[in-house]
């Protein structure tokens, strides 16, 4: 695997595939030996070979015994990997038939949780610490389902990340790190199981939500605003926080009524009313701007952003209506603005897949294509603000080779991270 000549390199690859079909376990043993002990270039190519070629091998080669051997050897390698290598190994393992069952996906989630260092103290000022958590969480999200819970990750985000949201740092240039964290939390919240400190964590989430839902400005005696300008409404942040609160709140439905005093509940409803008024303004403006536009007209960058903005505002509108019920309701279902709309409910589909282990489910989608940051600037007016949607790219998410991307954890041989 070390030649630089492309013809020779292809010859080596074809030879490996041939002996794989003759002795899969023996071939794997040689490859993993090179990954653990070989030179850097051989290690890199061996990992890439596994990530691209294993999925092309027939079932009679990839037996259950062979897959168990891959999992066992992969765990050894995962003790000392870079971020990029970790992603490749997750690709390898998630493609194994034996790991596409409920118990298999649970094993993968546990592997990711170990890599994410959820037992360690979170350092929001360490870019590598933050980056590792985000990248690991992104790998875990497609694995969650009604039967494979995200509880450990959601708990960690509520207890350690949300309180430090404004202090987060990232090595990725141009990334809205706070919005990315809130998006991940929202995606995971749908599959959170029984949480040990539910009330405490729900309060942390509620307090963070209040930070992004301003009170209406005070009016002067003449009816005009006493302040110089209206508070800006950050719709993208509120969509994430409101959705997460809505998902976790249904687990403790009396949180807003029995656990908060009357003044706090009154304050929250005032904020909801003010935000709802701003929403109606924007929804009307966006619908008017998109009226009559179809086909190619909707594919322009400006109109794409407006479509996303309309999804965000509609989602928030639905969730706010739920919370205005007496008592608050948590029955409405919305699709997060950055997620593709599916004909069938994804959670129901995943749940039905989880009931059988004999036939593997379809491979989880890696998510929508991640574009550069999109910001919609609505017309100026009483509720003027920026309404944006940002998708996290993996560009720059891992920086360089081993020993760099996620920061060190002790003195390891070969300079690798773990």
Query: Which stretches within 157-218 are classed as H helix?
Result: 177-189, 198-211
Within a 13 Å sphere around the CA of 123, how many CA atoms are in the beta-carbon half? Answer: 10
- Please report the pLDDT score of residue 226 as a whole number: 56
Find out whether 406 and 132 touch, Cβ atoms under 8 Å. yes
Report in angstroms the alpha-carbon separations of 121 from 12, 114, 138, 351, 392: 45, 13, 20, 34, 24
User: Which residues partner with 219 through β-bridges?
Assistant: 225
- Please report the pLDDT score of residue 272 as a whole number: 93
Find out whether 237 and 245 touch, Cβ atoms under 8 Å. no
Integer Cα distance of 105 and 363 in angstroms: 11
Percentage helix, strand, coil for the chain under 3-state DSSP, each rounded to 5: 60, 0, 40
- Please report the pLDDT score of residue 414 as a whole number: 39
- Please report the pLDDT score of residue 238 as a whole number: 96
- Please report the pLDDT score of residue 1 as a whole number: 64
- Please report the pLDDT score of residue 343 as a whole number: 59
User: Which residues partner with 225 through β-bridges?
Assistant: 219
Integer Cα distance of 208 and 322 in angstroms: 19
Question: Is the Cα torsion angle 354, 100, 248, 202 positive or negative in sign?
Answer: positive
- Please report the pLDDT score of residue 156 as a whole number: 97
- Please report the pLDDT score of residue 328 as a whole number: 87
- Please report the pLDDT score of residue 10 as a whole number: 86
pLDDT tens-digit series, residues 280-333: 998 999 999 888 888 888 888 888 899 999 999 999 999 999 998 888 899 999
- Please report the pLDDT score of residue 351 as a whole number: 46
Which pTM was predicted? 0.79
Domain boundaries, the chain: 1-100, 251-339
Question: SS3 of 332, please?
Answer: coil
Integer Cα distance of 220 and 84 in angstroms: 57
- Please report the pLDDT score of residue 380 as a whole number: 35
User: Which residues partner with 376 through β-bridges?
Assistant: 387
Q: Which residues of the chain have pLDDT under 70?
A: 1, 3, 219-228, 259, 342-418
- Please report the pLDDT score of residue 338 as a whole number: 94
Question: Is the Cα torsion angle 76, 78, 79, 84 positive or negative in sign?
Answer: positive
């Amino acid at each position: 695997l070390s030649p630089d000549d492309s013809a020779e390199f292809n010859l080596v690859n074809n030879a490996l595939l041939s002996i794989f079909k003759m002795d899969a376990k023996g071939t794997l043993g040689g490859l993993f030996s090179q990954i653990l002990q070989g030179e850097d270039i051989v290690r890199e190519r061996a990992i890439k070979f596994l990530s691209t070629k294993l999925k092309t091998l027939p079932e009679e080669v990839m037996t259950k015994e062979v897959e168990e051997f891959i999992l066992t050897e992969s765990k050894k390698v995962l003790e000392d990997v870079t971020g990029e290598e970790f992603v490749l190994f997750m690709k390898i393992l998630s493609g194994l038939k034996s790991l596409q069952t409920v118990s298999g996906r649970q094993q993968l989630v546990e592997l990711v949780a170990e890599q994410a260092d959820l037992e360690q103290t979170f350092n929001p000022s360490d870019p590598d610490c933050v980056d590792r958590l985000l990248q690991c969480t992104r790998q875990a999200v497609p694995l969650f389902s009604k039967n494979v819970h995200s509880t450990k990750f959601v708990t960690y985000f509520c207890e350690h990340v949300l309180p430090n949201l404004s202090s987060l740092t990232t090595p990725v240039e141009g990334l809205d790190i706070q919005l990315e964290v809130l998006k991940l939390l929202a995606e995971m919240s749908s599959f959170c199981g029984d949480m040990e400190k539910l009330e405490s964590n729900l309060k942390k989430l509620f307090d963070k939500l209040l930070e992004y839902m301003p009170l209406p400005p005070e009016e002067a005696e003449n009816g005009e605003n006493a302040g110089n300008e209206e508070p800006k409404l950050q719709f993208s942040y509120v969509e994430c926080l409101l959705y997460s609160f809505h998902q976790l709140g249904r687990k403790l439905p009396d949180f807003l009524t029995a656990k908060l005093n009357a003044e706090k509940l009154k304050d929250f409803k005032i904020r909801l009313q003010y935000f709802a008024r701003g929403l109606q303004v924007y929804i009307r403006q966006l619908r008017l701007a998109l009226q009559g536009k179809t086909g190619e007209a909707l594919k322009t960058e400006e109109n794409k952003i407006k479509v996303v903005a309309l999804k965000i505002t509609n989602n928030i509108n639905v969730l706010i209506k739920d919370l205005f019920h007496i008592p608050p309701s948590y029955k409405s279902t919305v699709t997060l603005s950055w997620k593709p709309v599916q004909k069938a409910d994804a959670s129901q589909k995943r749940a039905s897949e989880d009931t059988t282990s004999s036939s593997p489910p379809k491979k989880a989608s890696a998510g929508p294509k991640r574009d550069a940051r999109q910001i919609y600037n609505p017309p100026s007016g009483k509720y003027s603000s920026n309404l944006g949607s940002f998708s996290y790219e993996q560009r720059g998410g891992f920086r360089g080779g081993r020993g760099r991307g996620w920061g060190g954890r002790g003195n390891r041989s070969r300079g690798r991270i773990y």
